[in-house]
Amino acid sequence: MPLSPPAATIRTQVSMPLRFTDGYATIARVFSFDGLVDGQENLAFGLGDRATAVTPVGRDSVPLVRPHSECLTGDVFGSQRCDCGPQLREAVQRIADAGGYLLYLRQEGRGIGLYAKLDAYALQDGGLDTYEANLALGHREDERSYLVAAQMLRTLGVAEIALLSNNPDKARQLRRLGVAVSSLVPTGVHLSPANARYLRTKAQKGAHTLDVPLSAG
Ligand SMILES: [Zn+2]
């Protein structure tokens, strides 16, 4: 029996031209909300045919949706310790092409926070993997929740999505929250020497559907 997330409302929606460092440009409609249960300033970016005001009339097409958890170091500074920056860049373009929403969730470092993520990196440099490091710091392996993602989708009038993700846990959580996930659309693998170990751990321990060469890095 799916749980129904509490109702939220759209606070503000504005048009925002985006331009990435590699020159890719598109237009987004950025939504903020009142009533999101985590109290964070989460955002939804409507892209492609969803870069327009939300209308009360439903649409026929199923939007492509990616919940992206904030990663200050990867998203903004291009940290090579993870693949968040390239994942975000790929997602924006693919969603703009297909029409849909990028949900930017303010749960840094798998939900443990920015400072704790750096603490975990220090432990990883001592030999632990990303999951072991989180556990050593007293956190669960992955504390991310997609409840506010479900809230935002409901507020935007979206009941069914194509989910852009390699993470089956996102699909499970969203379905439990009443979002119909009609398909799981895989993202590319963004491998670099610095993140190869991290991606292998994600594939092995997080059951991500990633095809990472085990000999790399
Ligand atoms: Zn990251």
CA 33 to chain centre: 17
- Which range is least confidently modeled, 43-57, 120-134, 188-202? 188-202
Residue 60 has pLDDT above 90, yes or no: no
Give the tens place of pLDDT for each residue, 164-214. 998 888 999 999 999 999 999 998 877 666 677 777 777 776 666 655 544
Beta strand segments in 122-176, E:
160-164
* Residue type at position 126: G
C-alpha of residue 83 to centroid of ligand 1, in Å? 6
- Structure tokens belonging to residue 139: 């956190």
Q: Compute, in angstroms, the gap from residue 1 CA to the centroid of ligand 1.
A: 33
In the predicted model, is pLDDT for residue 56 greater than 70?
Answer: no
Residues near ligand 1 ion, CB 5 Å cutoff: 71, 74, 82, 84
**Token representation of residue 217:** 């890095």
Name beta bridge partners: 162.
Answer: 64, 183
Kindly name the residue from 29, 81, 144, 154 that is annotated as catalytic: 144
State what percent of residues in the chain have pLDDT above 90: 65
pTM of the model: 0.86
Radius of gyration of the chain (CA): 17
Please give the pLDDT value at position 188. Answer: 82
Task: Render pLDDT for 65-113 as a digit per residue (tens, 0 to 9).
Answer: 999 999 999 999 999 999 999 999 999 999 999 999 999 999 987 778 8
CA 151 → CA 36, 129, 158, 179, distances in Å? 7, 32, 10, 10
User: From ligand 1's centre to the CA of 74, what distance in Å?
Assistant: 5
Cβ neighbours, 10 Å, residue 121: 17
pLDDT confidence band for 217 (50 / 70 / 90): very low
pLDDT of res. 6: 84
Q: Annotated catalytic, 97?
A: no
Can you give the pLDDT at residue 214? 43
Q: Compute the distance from residue 57 Cα to the ligand 1 centre, in Å.
A: 37
pLDDT for residue 148? 95
- Is residue 34 flagged as an active site residue? no
Per annotation, catalytic residue among 75, 119, 129, 142: 142
